[in-house]
Structure 1
Amino acid sequence: MVGRVKGLLSTSAALFASERSARNVVWNLLGGVSTGAMMFLATPIYVSRLGLEGYGIVGLWLVLQVMIVLLDMGMGVSIVRAFAGAEPGQAGDRYRRDLLRTMEAFYWAIAVALTVAFALSANWMATHWLESSALSSADVAEALRLMAIALGIQFASVLYANGLSGLQAHGKMNALQVAGNVLRYGGGIAVLLWRADLGLFFVTQAVVAALQMLATRQVAWRMITAPGYPRAHFRLDLVQPLWRYSAGMALSTLAGVSMANADRIAISALLPTGELGKYAVAFTAAGMLQLGVQPFYRTFFPRFAELIAAGNEKQLRAEYFRSCRLLAAFVIPIGTIAWTFAPELLVAWLGTHEETVASVFRWLLIGVACSGLLWLPAALQQASGWTRLHASMMAGALVLGVPVMLWAIRTVGTPGAAAIWILHGVTGITIELWLMHRRLLVGDLMEWYRLVLLPPLLLTFPVTALSWWAMPSALGRWLVMLWFAVTCATAILLTLFVAFGRNRGDRALTVAESSTN
């Protein structure tokens, strides 16, 4: 029995390349799963209580939560690197405290400016931008002002979360995230079940954001403070060395956030708020796949940087391909099966069939799955200090995709907005990978397609087809979800077995190498 447990742990560590990587992926997955689970449970209630127009405003809030990341100008990633790279002991903690105190001034100044600017523009947005027939302009404006307060607090909270990430405190960081999600979505559900009031909903979100920010701040400061340590000081000289890398990451973030949110911004300007609500529901569903991708990036980005700094190209190549294969073993089966069972899944989730939502969901899944596979190649580029390629590809997808998207919206309606995602995803796993492998891991492009892309595709298609053929026609909502989960688990486990289960010598070598790193 003990031998089996040890074998299981060794295999798990090999899959993730090290015990630390496995632990960090698990913690980040728990955080992502909690977010997805709460979104899954809350969205049908939000839609039923607020209507599609009201949920359209909530969808706008979700968009803006992502877009405010632009305001940190790449400093968030720099803080993670700076905290992680600081020397151990009191000297390192002093550096971290002074840096955190300095960055607090910048982040809170931006948070206040964001809140004031957004609140002042609420009336104009409610009158001239957002079209609503079920909600009055005054109600929309009030909701936007309350939304502004929540957004400002959420922006400031990101600073402390980045500090915890840099300290490798993934357990604490994700525990706070899970608690925040429970309060955020649970509180939203409770308020809406009591009273379907959009303003009251955003009051709840602002209060929860404040509580989560205060808790995260307390934990971050406590981890770098001890009795007898000197007080933290504002030191502008600590920020100056970070700006160069931050500028490159800021351009990448700007291109990524703009590209990722252009679809919903276009719909909010061109179509009624009800259509934005439909698109937001589909985007929420497709975005759950993206939540499963982020933990891999958060885990392997610093690992790639560590190996590059050590000059260990052989191990870097092995871990790059291993991590990409592991990610593809999850993304491709889930994306393919969700696409196939899209109508049944959405009915089981929402309790009603909406053709537009199902169509948008399917188109988005293609783009999200393709772009999700690109996260680890992008992490390798950024860990190498090469931020230009990924930023340029996203900017290109934005420049080319916006005209195509606008034409598609006018031609086919709401589903046309997904065109920009498909363009980004397809060009990413073709052109960007080709360009990347001309500079990094030269000559390995076809190996990536052979090892990463081909096995999960070949294994998922027959599993999906068999499941579709065997699925009973009169399953209840929860049984549909269970059927989907079992199908996904079967395809994922089969892919993992074929990709990793047969090569025991490679696993043993990986564990041995990991123990020395």
Structure 2
Amino acid sequence: MPKVKRNVIANYAGNGWTALMSLAFIPLYIAFMGVESYGLVGFYTTLLSVFVLLDLGISTTVRWHLARLSAEPGKAHEARNLVRTLEFVYWGIALLIGVIMYLLAPWIANSYLQAQELSPEILQDALKLIGLTIAVRWPFSFYAGGLMGLQKQEIYNLIHAVIETLRGGGAVLILWLVSPTIQAFFVWQIIIGLVGAVALGHTLWRSLPAAATKARFEFSVLRNLWRFSAAVSAHTILVIAVTQIDKLMLSKLVTLELFAYYSLASTVASALYNLITPVATALYPRFIQLVTLRDEDRLSQLYHHGCQVMSALIAPTAIVLAFFSVEILLLWTQNPLLVENAHLITSLLVLAKALESLQFLPGSLQTAHGMAWIKFGIYLSLGSLLILAPAVYYATTNFG
């Protein structure tokens, strides 16, 4: 079986399982901790996405360059030095994230979040734990990017599935057997986040081609890559801003309880990504290799086939989720109050995410071609953000 097909199958299996793990335990989280505490989990998820801004394009850079180097012979030493150099930078960013969240925790607890049941002290403790959770989980995406670039997606998905099972199932056991508190929840997330990062890092280094000399940190790698990383970082920042601005603004404009309902709806709508991410993830490094080899015919054929597959997956699923949101939410949560407050926004967000999902593969092809098309993506995302942010504020303040 061709490697691309094996990777697509592995990605579907891995993404399907991790999506199941992320969705299956939410009703239990709410049952054990309460709606407000789950609102903090939703806030953590948003912060996890926002802090990707500090990625500086590094995870995409390592994926792009490892995919390119894998298509060229005699590049093992260069690939290993690339990973070692960027690994140092990424762990430094993880430390920075932990410090930032520790310092901002009192302000966020007292001036930003609108809690009615949780005390400011509990909020501060939870926010500090959130910062540490993000910090230890942070390098996971770097190592994942490296494995994706090497097209080692089968082993990545196996490790990811195991970690997500332990993350969700272990959290439920902790809440049930140890303490049904938000603090206990995040302590477990810290433990499993560190285990996941170490496991994936070890796997990446074992997957890199052997070289005659030991990998080392090189400033020349940073000098050669900073322009590409800066462009990717700018594009990533704008894409994240477009996809997260609604949640960031709503976490300030509405109560934590209402934000929890919105987070629930957003989680359901974002499940659409699990249909198309496996295809896009498998095709992206192959796009880069074919661009490097200047094989336009095979590149065009692969791209059009991928677009057809993604459209066939997204359209029927989005229609079912949008028109039967009440029944699906009730079957999933068994909570009529949650369904009453979340079903309409779920339907609307599903349709929005469906349209957004259709942009994935064109964006991947653009990025595979390098700097010129990345700049086009930057301008497109900037225009979207300038329209979306005022629209969210106006709609929320005038219509609730």
CA contact 2:39–2:256 (8 Å) conserved in 1: yes
Q: Which has the higher contact order (CA 8 A, sep 6+)?
A: 2
**What corresponds to 1:387 in structure 2?**
374
Would you say 1:322 and 2:305 are equivalent positions? yes
**What corresponds to 1:261 in structure 2?**
244
Q: Which residue of 208, 212, 216 corresponds with 1:224?
A: 208
Q: Which residue of 231, 239, 245 corresponds with 1:248?
A: 231
In the alignment, the residues of structure 1 paired with residue 346 and residue 248 of structure 2 have an alpha-carbon distance, to the nearest angstrom, of: 17
One-letter code of the match for 2:208?
Answer: I
**What corresponds to 1:360 in structure 2?**
345
In the alignment, the residues of structure 2 paired with residue 65 and residue 35 of structure 1 have an alpha-carbon distance, to the nearest angstrom, of: 17
Would you say 1:196 and 2:183 are equivalent positions? no
The count of residues paired between Structure 1 and Structure 2 equals 395
**1:203 alignment partner, SS class:** helix
CA contact 2:67–2:288 (8 Å) conserved in 1: no
CA contact 1:75–1:243 (8 Å) conserved in 2: no
One-letter code of the match for 1:275?
Answer: L
Q: Alpha carbons of 1:114 and 1:229: their partners in 2 closer, same or farther (altered >3 Å)?
A: same
Would you say 1:333 and 2:325 are equivalent positions? no
Q: Alpha carbons of 1:102 and 1:396: their partners in 2 closer, same or farther (altered >3 Å)?
A: same
State the TM-score, normalizing by the size of structure 1.
0.73
**1:132 alignment partner, SS class:** coil
Percent identity between the two aligned chains: 28
**What corresponds to 1:179 in structure 2?**
162
One-letter code of the match for 2:345?
Answer: V
Deviates most, 390-399 or 314-323? 314-323
Q: Deviations over 1:244-299 (max 9, x none)?
A: 22222111101111111111111111111001100111111111111222112112
**What corresponds to 1:272 in structure 2?**
255
Q: Which residue of 24, 29, 48 corresponds with 2:7?
A: 24
Q: Deviations over 1:392-446 (max 9, x none)?
A: 2222111111111111112222xxxxxxxxxxxxxxxxxxxxxxxxxxxxxxxxx
In the alignment, the residues of structure 2 paired with residue 168 and residue 36 of structure 1 have an alpha-carbon distance, to the nearest angstrom, of: 21
**What corresponds to 1:298 in structure 2?**
281
For structure 2, the 5+ residue unaligned runs are none
Q: What are the residue-to-residue correspondences of 1:59-458 with 2, within 5 Å?
A: 59-86=42-69, 92-194=75-177, 195-224=179-208, 229-353=212-336, 354-385=339-370, 386-413=373-400
In the alignment, the residues of structure 2 paired with residue 157 and residue 185 of structure 1 have an alpha-carbon distance, to the nearest angstrom, of: 17
Q: Deviations over 1:328-383 (max 9, x none)?
A: 11100100011111100000011022322101101101110001011111112222
CA contact 2:64–2:368 (8 Å) conserved in 1: no
Q: Deviations over 1:185-234 (max 9, x none)?
A: 111111122321100100000000011111111111222376x9432211
Deviates most, 363-372 or 70-79? 70-79
One-letter code of the match for 1:355?
Answer: E
**2:271 alignment partner, SS class:** helix
CA contact 1:75–1:242 (8 Å) conserved in 2: no
One-letter code of the match for 1:101?
Answer: R
**2:138 alignment partner, SS class:** helix
Deviation at 1:81, TM superposition (A): 2.0
In the alignment, the residues of structure 1 paired with residue 349 and residue 70 of structure 2 have an alpha-carbon distance, to the nearest angstrom, of: 44
In the alignment, the residues of structure 2 paired with residue 99 and residue 337 of structure 1 have an alpha-carbon distance, to the nearest angstrom, of: 45
**1:134 alignment partner, SS class:** coil
CA contact 1:153–1:206 (8 Å) conserved in 2: yes
Deviation at 1:158, TM superposition (A): 1.9
One-letter code of the match for 2:81?
Answer: D
Q: Alpha carbons of 1:90 and 1:310: their partners in 2 closer, same or farther (altered >3 Å)?
A: closer
In the alignment, the residues of structure 2 paired with residue 221 and residue 143 of structure 1 have an alpha-carbon distance, to the nearest angstrom, of: 34
For structure 1, the 5+ residue unaligned runs are 1-12, 14-18, 414-517
One-letter code of the match for 2:45?
Answer: L
**1:135 alignment partner, SS class:** coil
One-letter code of the match for 1:251?
Answer: A
CA contact 2:279–2:310 (8 Å) conserved in 1: yes
In the alignment, the residues of structure 1 paired with residue 46 and residue 15 of structure 2 have an alpha-carbon distance, to the nearest angstrom, of: 17
In the alignment, the residues of structure 1 paired with residue 144 and residue 299 of structure 2 have an alpha-carbon distance, to the nearest angstrom, of: 28
Larger radius of gyration: 1
